[in-house]
Chains A and B, each alone.
Chain A
Amino acid sequence: MKKTKSNKAWFLVLPVFILVAFSAIVPLMTVVNYSIQDIFGATRYFVGVEWYREILNNSRLQDSLVRQFVFSGSVLLIEVPLGIAVALMMPKAGKWSVVTLLVLALPLLVPLNVVGTIWQIFGRADIGLFGWGLNALGMDYNYAANPMDAWFTVLLMDVWHWTSLIALLCYSGLRAIPDAYYQAASIDRASNWAVFRYIQLPKLKSVLLIGVLLRFMDSFMIYTEPFVLTGGGPGNSTTFLSQALTKMAVGQFDIGPAGAFSIIYFLIILLVSWLFYTAMTHGDSK
């Protein structure tokens, strides 16, 4: 068969190309453009990797990066097992399963800045039930003054807000396991732990992969909630990367370093997401 060659086919790809260009490539290249130049009004100098070097040596940003990793790590370590546990305990059918699903979905529907506000008030020692309660129990809790308390509150807020996502994903994953697996396991005299380890967990892998990636990316980019709750304080103790970036770009108008920072930020997320993906899908083809 003779193949017809026609370059007209390129026109068919054009809409996608334009769309992707405007949604990703053009904005990203703008940032790249800023990150390699020093701009004063109308004058601009090419500075190469100078901003990158400066950003990588900035100790405040290094601190933020460490803080960010600790935060995302804690979020994953708490929310993933907790979400799985909640999903395992949820009723499988009937009216109570609907009720639990609704209750679990509620936090996901609350706007981010409202979540921050809720916890800001909830945690206050004078008028917030949570803060007042802890103090009434004899604990010296004050998230606005004590970095540990601030961290605890930010983490608790995130767990409250997002564990549902993991739980709902796992719940749907668990419901998709055919009964025959459980039946075979009981015939094989498998213990509950073995059922979890060899049936449920492997079958949850694909939903967990989505859950872990979503939670990693979201928590790594967290901005609104800690900004509303603690404003990054006390001191810089809850200042995460996105807040540091905003300060630099919008507050101090250091477009060049902020551009370099953005690119590094983006590459870190890409790298870590890729690592998670590879680690979790690794070993499928042995």
Chain B
Amino acid sequence: MFEPTSHEANLLARASVDQCVKCTICETQCPVMAVTPLFAGPKFVGPQAERFRHGESVDHTLDYCSSCGTCTLVCPQGVKIAELNSVARAAMKRDHMPPRDRLISRTTLMGQAMRPIAPLANAALRAAPVRVLAEKIAGIHRDAAMPVSSGQPFHAWWAKHQPAPTAGPAGTVIFFHGCAGDYFEVATSIQAVEVLERLGFNVLVPKQGCCGMALQSNGLYDTARAWVRRLVADLEKAPQDLVIVSTAGSCQGMLKHEAREIMGVEDESLQAIGTRTRDICEFLLEKIEAGQLNFGVKRLDVTVTYHAPCQLKGQGMGQPAVELLRLIPGVTVVESGATCCGIAGTYGFKKEKYEIAKAVGQPLFDKVKEVNPKLALCDTETCRWQIRQHTGAQVEHPIYLLHKALGLS
């Protein structure tokens, strides 16, 4: 048996190495390589270095890869470049995992710890001396965007929620909000439920934990595997013939493919859950295009930048939010055209990567400021924090506009 994080164990990604024809398309799109020479690039540290690894780490610039996944997305040959690099980095960090990386990857822990003392915790994370201390001790950059805890978590709202009278005729769906959607981006989760109910769906929300995404991106695979399996078990408690609809743009990707393709979780239950999982915009658009939804929306005169996060693009479904929002009369959606916002999960929080993450996101920040400096849209939580931090704009999940167009806010 191989070590679970060993390169040998990562056969799925390794099998794709020989597909690489060294065409360099991944390098042309890598957002990190574009702004710093510190990262030797996805092809170099990926398919090329992989041949020399045999259990050893041969290129340490790999640490500067943000795991945004753009390389895999754009590869015309199907090489799992990002997956290879993720595993190689996990192996590289194995014996000297910074305590910081263990800390910031526990989203639920942060949410739970901050919630009872939300005003205090939020204030502390805004206070300069606290942040300087955090940078010195923990290596979390003093200016990095920190989540804002919402006093009331989504699950508390849900416990008191009465279904809208419109819910039911379109069928029943399971709602997956992710842990950031429970503790930090609570409004998004509430809007999603209200939109689904208005459009006729009966919504179920099983108790659900964290998918382990942040642990995975920091190379803490063992815990991440346990967490994603626990989440699968949570979601399985709801009826197993229902679609799982999600506003957690990256966590849904963990269920759909990342747990298997990066961490090698081979599990029929996971696969069954992944097959039923849909992004909320993907789900609604498919229903509308199939003529199965009565989509009565009012006019909204707004021009807004939409940024498709890397981990949403990585699901290979196009940009359903763009198509969906364009069905609302008066709405002009401007695609950001940017590869990545820079944050890449927890990458941009780190002291040594903060400036790189900012440079990666700069074209996006400029676009937001140019198109509509007040409002922008993006499907994942940490990306929204990053865009808010660097533009000052209100940044919302795309469902926010649909919620408005349906007259719900």
- Chains A and B form a bound pair: no
B residues lining the A interface (CB < 8 Å) = none
